Amino acid sequence: MAQFAATHIPVLRDEALAGLALRAEGRYFDGTFGRGGHARAVLSHLNAHGRLLLMDRDADAIAEAQRAFANDPRVAIRQGNFADCGEWSEVRDLDGALLDLGVSSPQLDDPRRGFSFRHDAPLDMGMDPSAGESAADFLNTAEEGEIADVLWRCGEERMSRRIARAIVNARAQSPIASTRELAELVERAIGRRERNKHPATRTFQALRIHVNDELDSLKRGLRALTAALKPGGRLAVISFHSLEDRIVKNFIRGEVPATTRRGLPLPEATQSPLRAVGRAQFPSEKEIAANPRARSAVLRIAEKNPIGAGT
Ligand SMILES: C[S@@+](CC[C@H](N)C(=O)[O-])C[C@H]1O[C@@H](n2cnc3c(N)ncnc32)[C@H](O)[C@@H]1O
């Protein structure tokens, strides 16, 4: 029997659904299936003509999607990074798209995945462990300056240089292999500074974001989904830290430079193809009490402008 949570409590589910303004025969995309909390709720609003496209990078999430929905003719499922969703021919003419960013409870709670310093485990952190380098590979090979840069950019860790120096000193003795080793090393390097926060929290967040290229994936995913939405189609994005939320907020405002289909920057930023629907939404005290992982969530909703109102 598994010793870890196999379920994930969906965050801001009703608010996200309301923001998507679901139509029973509509065509929807959930790029972060996880354990399907949001997807199930979307599906319960669709009739026989509705369509729901499900994606996740994580093989366990996709196995759960297959188990639950393989026989539902309204549902299509694909493993992959939502940044590349434009390559899936089904992802077009969308009435709505949802991204619920970050990691799921089963990923965090499964010690084998190495996402959390609460369990001692190999330092992996890949959302798709079969692809890309592990956190351990990065820490044991990158230059000190690059490690410091990742901790600063992806974790907003003010002690990034001191931690990077400690990592490089430690790996000169033996490679850093486990979550506990890294958590203890960070604690020795910077001490305990905040009452309810382990000193390695930002370091772990930064490594996870770096190893999974999360910020760039988010920018690419937002562009691809905006292109795939119908005019009037809705985008709902749930973020869990300020780095992500800033990207989403700026993208909706049109402040992320637009690019051509080949990724080349356009000569000048054009008017945003989206308009924000309402303000950012946060979980209620009641939701946070029932699910502490909802604590830092922010939901933003946007609508694609009619053709000609933007690009
Ligand atoms: C917070 S969970 C989603 C939970 C889901 N909404 C639910 O209710 O069960 C985030 C999920 O997104 C996936 N994910 C994160 N970034 C991704 C990306 N760039 N492409 C595809 N999946 C991604 C993770 O593997 C994880 O399963």
Least confident residue range of 5-19, 103-117, 225-239: 103-117
Domain boundary, last residue among 211, 241, 257: 211
- Structural domain includes residue 122: no
Kindly give the distance from the C-alpha atom of residue 247 to the centroid of ligand 1, in angstroms, as a whole number: 17
249: CATH? 3.40.50.150
pLDDT, greater one: 188 or 267: 188
Coil vs helix vs strand at 49: coil
Burial annotation 62-100 (CB, 10 A radius, 16+ → b, else e): bebbeebbeeeebbbbbbebbbbbbebeebeebbbbbbb
Query: What is the predicted pLDDT for the residue at 310?
Result: 47
For residue 264, pLDDT over 80 is answered with no
Report how far apart, in Å, the C-alpha atoms of 211 and of each of 2, 47, 71, 297 are. Answer: 26, 39, 34, 22
To test the pocket of ligand 1, the residue of 62, 127, 211 to mutate (highest count of ligand atoms within 8 Å of its CB) is: 127
For residue 311, pLDDT over 60 is answered with no
Tracing tokens 């509509």 back to the chain, one arrives at 26
Q: Give the model's confidence band at 2: pLDDT under 50 very low, under 70 low, under 90 confident, else very high.
A: very low
pLDDT for 141-163, tens place per residue? 999 999 999 999 999 999 999 99
Q: How confident is the prediction for the chain on average, in pLDDT?
A: 91
- Structural domain includes residue 7: no
152: CATH? 1.10.150.170
Q: Give the model's confidence band at 180: pLDDT under 50 very low, under 70 low, under 90 confident, else very high.
A: very high
Residue 126 sits at φ, ψ, to 5 deg, of -80, 135
Query: What is the predicted pLDDT for the residue at 5?
Result: 53
For residue 259, pLDDT over 70 is answered with no
pLDDT for 71-109, tens place per residue? 999 999 999 999 999 999 999 999 999 999 988 888 888
DSSP labels, 137-160: HHHHHS-HHHHHHHHHHHH--TTH
Kindly give the distance from the C-alpha atom of residue 33 to the centroid of ligand 1, in angstroms, as a whole number: 6
Tracing tokens 């065509």 back to the chain, one arrives at 27
Query: What is the predicted pLDDT for the residue at 18?
Result: 98
What pTM was computed for the model?
A: 0.91
Q: State whether 227 and 287 are in the same domain.
A: yes
Query: What is the predicted pLDDT for the residue at 308?
Result: 64
For residue 1, pLDDT over 50 is answered with no
According to DSSP, the residues that pair with 94 across neighbouring strands are 229
To test the pocket of ligand 1, the residue of 57, 87, 241 to mutate (highest count of ligand atoms within 8 Å of its CB) is: 57
Q: What domain range is 168 assigned to?
A: 128-211
Which percentage of the chain shows pLDDT scores above 70?
Answer: 92
Q: Give the model's confidence band at 263: pLDDT under 50 very low, under 70 low, under 90 confident, else very high.
A: low
Domain boundary, last residue among 211, 244, 270: 211
Residues having CB within 6 Å of any atom of ligand 1 = 8, 10, 31-32, 34-38, 55-58, 61, 81-83, 100, 102-104, 127, 217
- Structural domain includes residue 68: yes
Which percentage of the chain shows pLDDT scores above 90?
Answer: 78
Q: State whether 183 and 241 are in the same domain.
A: no
Q: State whether 243 and 102 are in the same domain.
A: yes
Q: State whether 277 and 253 are in the same domain.
A: yes
Q: Please compute the mean of the pLDDT values over residues 107-128 and round it to a whole number.
A: 86
Q: Give the model's confidence band at 256: pLDDT under 50 very low, under 70 low, under 90 confident, else very high.
A: low
Q: Give the model's confidence band at 7: pLDDT under 50 very low, under 70 low, under 90 confident, else very high.
A: confident
- Structural domain includes residue 21: yes
Kindly give the distance from the C-alpha atom of residue 307 to the centroid of ligand 1, in angstroms, as a whole number: 30
Q: Please compute the mean of the pLDDT values over residues 219-246 and round it to a whole number.
A: 97
For residue 284, pLDDT over 80 is answered with yes
Query: What is the predicted pLDDT for the residue at 149?
Result: 97
Least confident residue range of 39-53, 69-83, 158-172, 194-208: 194-208
